[in-house]
Amino acid sequence: MRSLVIALILGFFSIGKGQWYEISNLTEVYSLGGTFRDMVFLNDSVGIVPYESIILRSVDKGYTWDTVYQEATGACKFSKVEFYNEQVGLARTFFGLMEGVRTEDGGLTWEAVPGSHDYESFDFLTEDVILWGETNLWKKSLSEPWEYTLDGPPVTSLYMFNIDVVDQDTAYIATGISLWKYMGDDSIVLSDNKSCGDVFFPSARIGYYTDVETIYRTIDYGHSWDTLPFTYIINAKNTEIPYINSMQFVSDSIGFLRTYEDNLGELNDVGVLWRTIDAGWTWDTIFSSIFIPEEEYGGVVSFYFISPETGWALTNKGHLFYTTTGGGDEYILLPPTVSVQHAGSLPLTLHPNPATDQLFLEGLANHPDAA
């Protein structure tokens, strides 16, 4: 999925000491017992998080969230969300009685997309047509009842497709064994015998893809690729799981990626976020789950940046972090909500805001004469 906002970078962007603020603990409000998997922000205010059988939406940068959709049976579990623009998006289920739900109003309302295909990776060709991968590459209309399979990359490994659409006639598809380029209804192989983890093109000419522990860059539409010097290995014990998991670029040279280690076979693992400002030649750690109480907070499973400075990181246990400094090595955690009660006094709830010096007292509004 190409970023909704490709930032125009003027001047030199330098790395300094930065902070992450925990701004939401979604499990305190939405305790469905499952795992958070994905999120997206449409701009600097509106965010979407699929969680189990519900979809959450925020309009205040992620500080508060509302349930905007709930699947009636509870059988469908949402795992992935993509947006074509700030209005049109699709939230995908990984099993259930439907393929997902679609919105045309920025995530405020959602309608079911019927079907029974078990795919997780997809991207928009147009606002009504998607590419998706299962055991083949498919083209599907979301507004009309048609879909068909395309000649192209078969999946013969355990890894799913990762698809990045550049325009309605061009897309790149990373499978567990190869990297392909989609052109119209034809596909060609760009590299073979590699376990491709993710692919991302911030512009038509320049793109990046990853295999297990290596990053590659093209400046000529995918015709040739340079190997970038990213050599840090999180876990050298298990080579069956990709160490480099996902990436996003906000310009041709500034981008972010996630690495992880397999935590004793657990799906939800320790995650580390990295940032480059020089087209992938050097990378700096900007978020590491090992520096927060991982047993309580979980590991980072999803991230999204709308500019080099502004972004979010979500853990599998529903803790949402926000940065305006491009990440950093300082983590400001939400203090627990404190309830204050005493004989002869009013019940109050304190809401500290870690990003400001404000303290909210809930309970006084109904008792204006209270001292």
Give me the percent of the chain exceeding a pLDDT of 70.
72
**Residue 153 in domain:** no
Q: What is the pLDDT of residue 363?
A: 52
**Residue 171 in domain:** no
**Residue 320 in domain:** yes
Task: Report residue 100 as tokens.
Answer: 């997902």
Whether residues 260 and 316 fall in one domain: yes
Helix H segments across the chain?
A: 294-297
Whether residues 330 and 245 fall in one domain: yes
Q: Determine the average pLDDT of the residues in 64-73.
A: 91
Q: What is the pLDDT of residue 151?
A: 67
Q: Rounded to whole angstroms, how far apart are CA atoms 244 and 289?
A: 15
Closest CA relative to residue 54, chosen from 39, 65, 38, 70: 70
Of 143-147, 284-288, 359-363, minimum mean pLDDT range: 359-363
Whether residues 274 and 316 fall in one domain: yes
For 157-213, write each residue's pLDDT tens digit. Answer: 445 568 999 999 999 988 877 888 888 777 777 876 667 778 999 999 999 998 877
| pLDDT surpassing 50 at residue 141 | yes
Domain count, the chain: 2
Burial 306-323 (b: 16+ CB within 10 A, else e): bbbbbbbbbbbbbbbbbb
CB 55 within 8 A of CB 320: no
Is the pTM value of this prediction over 0.75? yes
Q: What is the pLDDT of residue 237?
A: 44
Q: What is the pLDDT of residue 136?
A: 75
For 92-118, write each residue's pLDDT tens digit. Answer: 887 666 778 999 999 999 998 877 776
**Residue 103 in domain:** no
Residue 344 domain boundaries: 339-371
**Residue 257 in domain:** yes
**Residue 359 in domain:** yes
For 294-338, write each residue's pLDDT tens digit. Answer: 778 888 889 999 999 999 999 989 999 999 999 998 999 988 654
For 283-295, write each residue's pLDDT tens digit. Answer: 999 998 777 887 7
**Residue 277 in domain:** yes
> Per DSSP, what are the bridge partners of residue 101?
91, 112
Whether residues 370 and 283 fall in one domain: no
Quote the mean pLDDT of the chain.
Answer: 80
Which helix (DSSP H) or strand (DSSP E) does residue 80 occupy?
Answer: strand 78-83
DSSP assignments along 318-343, one per residue: SEEEEESSS--SEEEPPPPPEEE--T
Whether residues 320 and 350 fall in one domain: no
Whether residues 302 and 355 fall in one domain: no
**Residue 82 in domain:** no
